[in-house]
Chains A and B, each alone.
Chain A
Amino acid sequence: MALFSIASITSIYFNKNLSVYLVLLKLFSTLEFFTFSLFIYYSLENKFFKKIILFLNVPYLSIHIFSWVVFKNDFSVYPFLFEFLTFIIFIIYFFYEKMKLVNNNPIYDNTEFWIFVGIFIYFTGNFFYLLFSNSNYSKQFKYQLQIVASIVTITKNIIFSLSFLLKETPQITNNSISYAPDLDLEPTRTNTN
């Protein structure tokens, strides 16, 4: 939340200076990727996917540096595309993991779940905004883009805020019974005749 707030305030302040604005945007997206990947890392159960999400910071940074070098002061869509697709896939995986988990508490009672919902709406809602943001369209179209992005971001922030108001109920665990091992329990059959 703090990250988003700082980013919003600074972007308003530096809106006129494009080069500073782009630097800030790249810095913000890098921090965003790192924060979300860390959050996903702590939320997932599967160790393999946990490792992957942390490891993905390396290719993400590489793409960012590469685009910085190649496009210099221009906006490059590739690192953002990578970020959006990565998080959409991992959030879907998180939902799948939660569906498999045997739990007595409803999923919507969980703060973590609503944070993921917020992030998911943010990335899916801004996906097309990102795809079109690189082109030189009319001022009116860019304004429409801004409206869509703002609505999605506000929705995300509302979901984030509401998620912190949730009170989680303690989880009740189930005891399972193990099966009998293969023991020498065979009969020494006596002849009945």
Chain B
Amino acid sequence: MHLLEADPSGISKLMFIGTLGMLTLAVGIIVFVIFHQRKVIRYQMEMKKMENEKQQILLNASIRFQEEERQRIAADLHDDAGPLLATARLYLNENLVNQEKAQQLQSIISAKQIIDDAILLIRNISHSLMPPTLKNFGLESATTDLFQKINGSGVINASARFHDYRDRLKVEQELLVFRVVQELVNNVLKHSNAAFIHLTQNCSGNNLYLRIHHDGKGIVQSEFDKLNQATQGLGLKNIASRVNVLNGKIFFEIDPSQTYFKITLEIPKIPIV
């Protein structure tokens, strides 16, 4: 300070450089804060855009799935039920009254048999749209029934266990959850080559949890997300879309022991009023 007092021009210079330095530092900090925040906002917007694109893919997939389902039902009705009923009509034509009694009886029996087949076919189509067990007895019975049928085939060891399902979900929710489970099980049967598949259910707070374990070839969350972004393949997109409608969450992982895969579903409960 004494040295500076001896040289007033030096002090003046020091004061100006110091003030300028401090102001530069201040402006630098402010500019850095602004640009950093802009970068964060830009990143967030990109993430949001990607999420919107994902939603769009899911929506398209669900529309495509609905159309395919309609086409399948139309094909079933047109190709199977249509010919059956047309054949039955042939048996019951106007000439039936002119035929002999034995022939008449034979025609009626044949027509009855065909109509029974048509009834069974229509029932099967109807059951594929809405399983009667699910409608009448709920998710627990329908899922257990599904797993028992798979186990009965002898191809794979399948079982389902519900720990806490005292309060049923809304019918619409149950149907969506059941469809997700059906699709997951279907994928395991088709692609995993698993020896066992097991489903467990439990509840915590206002959430319902379902977990599927299998010892076949499975996928982890990153692969699920990747497949979900892909343009082809409907199954996983339907799962994601249904989970979205349920406001739920799905998580694909491999057990730390690397012996089996786990798929966990988290569904917020909407109980029946």
- Contact B44–A183 (Cβ < 8 Å): no
Give B203 Cβ to nearest chain A Cβ, in Å: 8
Kindly list chain B residues whose C-beta atoms are within 8 Å of the C-beta of A186.
200
**Residue of A103, A107, A120, A131 with most chain B CB atoms under a 10 A cut-off:** A107
Would you mind naming 14 contact pairs between A and B with Cβ atoms under 8 Å apart?
A: A99-B37, A103-B37, A120-B29, A124-B22, A127-B18, A128-B14, A129-B15, A132-B11, A135-B1, A137-B5, A144-B12, A145-B15, A184-B200, A190-B198
> How near does chain A come to B215, taking the closest CB pair, in angstroms?
9
Binding-face segment, B82-90, B127-135, B157-165, B183-191: B157-165
Q: At the interface, yes or no: A82 with Cβ under 8 Å from chain B?
A: no
Q: Point out the residue from B38, B159, B249 that lies within 8 Å of A180, measured CB to CB.
A: B249
Check: B209 CB closer than 8 A to any chain A CB.
Answer: yes
User: Does chain B have a CB within 8 A of A72?
Assistant: no
CB of A180 within 8 A of CB of B37, answer: no
- Given the known inter-chain contacts A106-B38, A137-B8, please indicate yes or no for A95 contacting B30, CB distance below 8 A: yes
Q: Restricting to A169-193, which residues have a CB under 8 Å from any CB of B? A: 177, 180-181, 183-190, 192
A137 to B159, CA, bound (A): 92
Summed over the interface, the residue pairs from A and B with CB atoms below 8 Å come to a total of: 111
Contact for A127 among B22, B29, B37, CB less than 8 A = B22
Task: Write the A19-33 contact mask toward B (1 if CB under 8 angstroms, else 0).
Answer: 000000000000000
Q: Are B22 and A125 in contact (CB under 8 A)?
A: yes
Which B25-57 residues sit within 8 Å CB-CB of chain A?
25-27, 29-30, 33-34, 36-38, 40-41, 44
Please determine whether A189 and B198 come into contact, CB atoms closer than 8 angstroms.
yes
B8, B25, B34, B205 pick with most chain A CB within 10 angstroms: B34
Query: Are B15 and A144 in contact (CB-based, < 8 A)?
Result: yes
- The answer, yes or no, to whether B19 is at the interface (CB within 8 Å) is yes
> What residue of chain A has the Cβ atom nearest to residue B33's Cβ?
A95
CA gap between A33 and B228 in the complex, in Å: 57
Least CB distance from B22 to A in Å reads: 4
